[in-house]
Structure 1
Amino acid sequence: MIVYIAYPTSLNLQSANALQTFTTLRELRARRPDTLALIPRWGFEPSRFQELNVVHLPRPAIGKLSRLYKSTLLYYLEHSVFAAMTAAFVAPQRRQVEAVYIRQPIIAAWWAGCFGPQLGIPVIYEAHDLESRNPSRAKERWARGLLDLIDRTALCRATAVASLTNDFRCLLSQIGWRDPADVAVIPDAYDEQIFTPQDRAQCRAELGLPPDLPIVAYAGMTFAHRWLDGLLSALRSLKTTYPTLTGLILGGRPGERAALTAHAVSEGFRVADTTTTPADLYILPPRPQVDVVRCLGAADVLVIPDTVTDVTASPLKLFEYLALGLPLVLPAIPALHEIVPPHLAYSFPRRNLTGLQEALSAALNERDPALATARRVVAADHTYGRRAERILALVDRVRATA
């Protein structure tokens, strides 16, 4: 039996980490029905994870106290309590457990440094970055040592580490924390049940968009740290060459959309929040994935203006974009090019406005249909099914060396 422990930020899949957790678990359970998933839940709030027969343990919602005292440390305490709850739940079954797989740093630190050794269970930590570089980390000055302790314990004492990128695996080796042989690269993925090549004309007809506009699209759960203001500046400058150029931005929190809309209006864009209203920039609220794929399928070019991280950059949208086969514009970050060969994307120096403009222009002029096929071939190796198989292979390797 494999125990999978996660702390998704949305039980209804309204965040990227929740989507990744849900779909990874779906594919793991399809291959290993005995997988035991432990997920927290506050009270009886609705949860899509019930579809996967996960075990919902009560969420020790200590982090809610941050409304009174704003500090990430309260969430660290919450995650610590939940880690102890998972250990108490697993302990009676420990002889049946092959490995515990964890994708949350605080919980991973507790399991790697304490509960795993005590129970005699191998611990695999899926690292998404160093906690000390997390934009939402504890900001108290005295907590810097705690952040280092969390990172060192989770990454150095886990039986094995799963990294989203080879770039991060190399970093762990360079700083002397892990032998590369103990780190498996398991990138993010896309849901092949949803993200398939689309008919552009049909997508535009269903959305009420004109058939002949050049459209550049972006989709993301949140806009923070994604340099969307840079994208707007690039689109505005390109209008001298492409007068009917239209931007389509999908997702983001309400406050983020409001701020981006105000910025776009100040830049001279005609903005709408529905595709049935004439505009040259659409800023649309989040939609179900089946609707997201239609919006993306209506575009000529898909863009990633920037990523939150660098050596661990493995955004879900990268794989979803690839699956559609459309021209792809992205920053020249080595971690992204681990997945996308340079000749299949239009890259630009990070946060370089001129570079972004040139990359968008080149992508809008792509004419070789073989490139779309090649992108879909790359994507095919990064389905959630393949991701689950990579996780199971790592578990088998850990068992063989235990």
Structure 2
Amino acid sequence: MKPGRRPEIWYVSRTRIDAESAQAMQVNDMLAALHHHPGLTLKATVAVRKDLPVNITDFAVSSIRSSLLGKTFYIYFAFRFVCQILASTSPQAIVYSRDILNVFFALLFGLRAVYEMHQPLRSKASRVLFRLSIKIWPHKFKVVVISGPLSAYLENEFMCPGEKILVAHDGVDINWYECAKAKSSVSYLREQEQIPKDIKIIMHTGSIYKGGIGAVLDVLSRYPQFWFVHIGGTKEDCSILQQKAQLSGLSNISVFPQKAKDTIPAYHAQSDFLIYIIGQQSGLSRYTSPLKLFEYMVSGQPVIYASTSSVDEVITPDFGYDFIPDDIGSLNAVFEKVLSTPTEGRKKAAASYDHVSQQYTWHHRVSRICDMIKNWET
């Protein structure tokens, strides 16, 4: 890229950004961080079901509204995006997308493109498109991945050169988190659930992925000193979790379905510990960069976390209490430790906050991506 020229990023997402999913939240956070970065110009093509969120209406954005679902919408969105490319007056724009099909079309019509990858390529079509992109347009194609194991996957499975890949974990907007915690008025859980003051609250928020939760419930059932609080998922998900707790013999438990995103920080503040759970058999365990982990780490509460190759890139025992996923003995050791060393948790929580604020905010992530693009030679 020519010195002094501001790169123009064309962010393309078929994720409906007016949804409440984790993917929609990540896209919104990325758009906000890109928009406020002083070193680039941003425009976007995004999917919505109804209306654009207020926070992204102050830059050049084109919304594609549709009630179509699944592959039908995927194809419809790609077609609309191609029409926008053909009508575009920005030949120097760099397309940035989590969708390999949109990246492929951008390359096909002469634009440079960055593919943001969150998990291995599952379908045969997506693998073919990725291989073609590397082979046909080696100088116009780059990849951003959310963890080191994903980078290794691309290098091993697709012979993708390491210099084409940037590892950039997800992050957190600390200003938003702290403002939401201060402004939100949520019910006081101890009073609502009649939790005694001498009982420690271990809280989990968000989805519960396949695996991992059973071992946690089994071990917690042996510790009357703890009360487990889960917030997230549908009513059906919560009912299943309650049934699992009963089978594990755990009675000290409160389960709530999904609550508004801006109330979660205030709930975090009511916990004594926050726990990140994932099973070894989960397809996400090797590659994930979970949004809630970054929020946990700036909450001010000690974090108990399932140790996996990708998670360990972000958090270490200096910043939390690690356990082996699905390992009852490892979990027992952690719960014994947090009970016997109460002051250690606060030290870890303070160190965790500093660590994330210096490396894992959305601003830090976008700055690294922008540096990669500025140094991109065509």
Q: Corresponding residue for 2:239? A: 258
The answer to whether the 8 A contact 2:10-2:94 is kept is yes
Output the CA distance in 2 between the equivalents of 1:224 and 1:333: 14
The answer to whether the 8 A contact 1:60-1:81 is kept is no
CA shift for structure 1 position 90: 2.8
Structure 2 residue 105 is matched with structure 1 residue 123? no
Output the CA distance in 1 between the equivalents of 2:287 and 2:333: 26
The answer to whether the 8 A contact 2:98-2:115 is kept is yes
Output the CA distance in 2 between the equivalents of 1:263 and 1:109: 40
The answer to whether the 8 A contact 1:11-1:49 is kept is no
1:213 maps to a residue whose letter is I
Output the CA distance in 1 between the equivalents of 2:167 and 2:15: 21
SS of 2:46's partner is strand
> What are structure 2's unaligned runs of at least 5 residues?
1-7
Equivalent residues in 2 for 1:252-331, closer than 5 Å: 252-270=233-251, 280-306=252-278, 308=282, 309-331=284-306
Output the CA distance in 2 between the equivalents of 1:206 and 1:265: 21
Instruction: Pick which of 166-175 and 311-320 moved more.
Output: 166-175
The answer to whether the 8 A contact 1:204-1:298 is kept is no
Instruction: Pick which of 120-129 and 93-102 moved more.
Output: 93-102
Q: Corresponding residue for 2:208? A: 223
Structure 2 residue 12 is matched with structure 1 residue 17? no
Output the CA distance in 1 between the equivalents of 2:155 and 2:374: 23
The answer to whether the 8 A contact 1:217-1:247 is kept is yes
CA shift for structure 1 position 31: 2.0
SS of 1:55's partner is strand
Output the CA distance in 2 between the equivalents of 1:312 and 1:155: 21
2:201 maps to a residue whose letter is I
The answer to whether the 8 A contact 1:329-1:360 is kept is no
Output the CA distance in 1 between the equivalents of 2:300 and 2:134: 36
Structure 2 residue 18 is matched with structure 1 residue 36? no
Instruction: Pick which of 167-176 and 357-366 moved more.
Output: 357-366
* TM-score scaled by length of structure 2: 0.84
Query: Which of the numbers 197, 211, 214 marks the counterpart of 2:200?
Result: 214
Query: Which of the numbers 232, 246, 264 marks the counterpart of 2:217?
Result: 232
Output the CA distance in 2 between the equivalents of 1:379 and 1:191: 10
CA shift for structure 1 position 79: 1.3
Output the CA distance in 2 between the equivalents of 1:83 and 1:267: 47
Output the CA distance in 2 between the equivalents of 1:338 and 1:17: 21
Q: Corresponding residue for 1:245? A: 226
1:302 maps to a residue whose letter is L
Q: Corresponding residue for 2:3? A: none
Q: Corresponding residue for 2:331? A: 356
1:19-66 deviation line (CA, Å, top 9, x unaligned): 111111112112258411111234xx24426643432113371x3xxx
Q: Corresponding residue for 1:67? A: none
Q: Corresponding residue for 2:173? A: 191
- Relative to structure 1, is the Cα distance of residues 206 and 228 closer, same or farther in structure 2, using a 3 angstrom cutoff? closer
Identity %: 18
> What are structure 1's unaligned runs of at least 5 residues?
64-74, 133-143, 271-279
2:360 maps to a residue whose letter is H
- Relative to structure 1, is the Cα distance of residues 37 and 315 closer, same or farther in structure 2, using a 3 angstrom cutoff? same
The answer to whether the 8 A contact 1:328-1:363 is kept is no
2:305 maps to a residue whose letter is L
Equivalent residues in 2 for 1:39-118, closer than 5 Å: 39-42=46-49, 45-48=50-53, 51-53=56-58, 54-59=61-66, 61=68, 63=69, 75-104=70-99, 108-112=100-104, 114-118=105-109
Structure whose residues are more often helix by fraction? 1
* TM-score scaled by length of structure 1: 0.79
Instruction: Pick which of 382-391 and 364-373 moved more.
Output: 364-373
Q: Corresponding residue for 1:379? A: 356
The answer to whether the 8 A contact 1:204-1:211 is kept is no
What's the Cα RMSD here? 2.8
SS of 2:116's partner is strand
The answer to whether the 8 A contact 2:148-2:167 is kept is yes
